[in-house]
Amino acid sequence: MLIGLLIWTCLLAVGAVVLVKGADWLVEGGGRTAARLGVPTIIIGLTLFSFGSTLPELASSLAAVGKGRAAIPVGNVIGSNIANIMLVLGASALIRPVKIKKSIFRRELPILFASMFLLIIFSRGGAIFWWEGAILILALAIYLVFLAWIALNSPERDLVKPERSNDKLKGDLFKIVMGILGVILGAEMIIRSAEFYIIQFGIEEGVVGLSIIALGTSLPELATATTASKKGKGDISLGNVIGANIFNILLVLGLCSLFMPLSFSPTLYISTFIMVVVSIVLAISAFTGRAISRIEGAVMVIGYIIYLVYLYFPQ
């Protein structure tokens, strides 16, 4: 049992690294290839890069759906959203206080709360069905159009088409292919490892999604946020976190529910409540225009650790 645990845990860690690296290569290669085709910078940023931050959650959730694990995608999304706020922003604030712009309160946060409202409404029946998933996908499309409208009307917009150079084209195509393979392989390794914990230890599917898988798929946001904080650009990490949380709900749950109903357990309902609470706390900070201090960041990280302990020792 111990040897098996070590093997599957290593496989999980390797799978997370392969998945994240594959997503990075796919986005990087795809972005450069799109630029060579003359796609405007705004369009690339709104679609490919936004999609890239959610790709690990999407790939692992689709792999779970393929194996009939209906609760893992829900746990993955909710757990990742909680980790993005408490762990990612908390760790960023530990490095350097994260300044919050009031524009976040007026624009991105209302959309995040609207997304969570849809999630709560659709989950009341005990599952998210295909037609509800279609509504989530439609909401995502409206959100992207809204972002495009803002970008096109911004005085800082960048509509210049990049040069259509053929330099390193083969390298970018190679990255796209290897990125796709990495995403598929990494997602499969993560879900197979998750099934080991579910079967051998009797851990609830939703709990595995909320903790193990959510942590693994939140690595891109954590890496991006800590790097941004070191460079004194913590507000960028905040925008990335909110955008990723919106995409997690609308894209991941929307797309996965088209293939099978996504079920909710009592633990997932409680975690949904926690997700809403930490989002409200973040909204209050945004409304007041305050920065997330190092002390608050420490509280957030400790709170996240307590949350993980609660998942495995609920009593």
- Over range 196-203, report the average pLDDT: 86
Tell me what pLDDT residue 234 has: 61
pLDDT greater than 90 at residue 201? no
pLDDT greater than 80 at residue 147? no
Burial 23-38 (b: 16+ CB within 10 A, else e): bbbbbbbbbbbbbbee
- Over range 261-266, report the average pLDDT: 93
**Cβ(268)–Cβ(120) below 8 Å:** no
Tell me what pLDDT residue 276 has: 96
pLDDT greater than 70 at residue 104? no
What does pTM read for this prediction?
A: 0.87
Distance CA(119)–CA(114), nearest Å, equals 9
pLDDT greater than 50 at residue 295? yes
If one looks up domain 2-312 in CATH, what number appears? Answer: 1.20.1420.30
Provide CB contacts within 8 A for 157, sequence distance 6+: 42, 151
Question: Which pLDDT band, with edges at 50, 70 and 90, does 77 fall under?
Answer: very high
pLDDT greater than 80 at residue 183? yes
pLDDT greater than 90 at residue 34? no
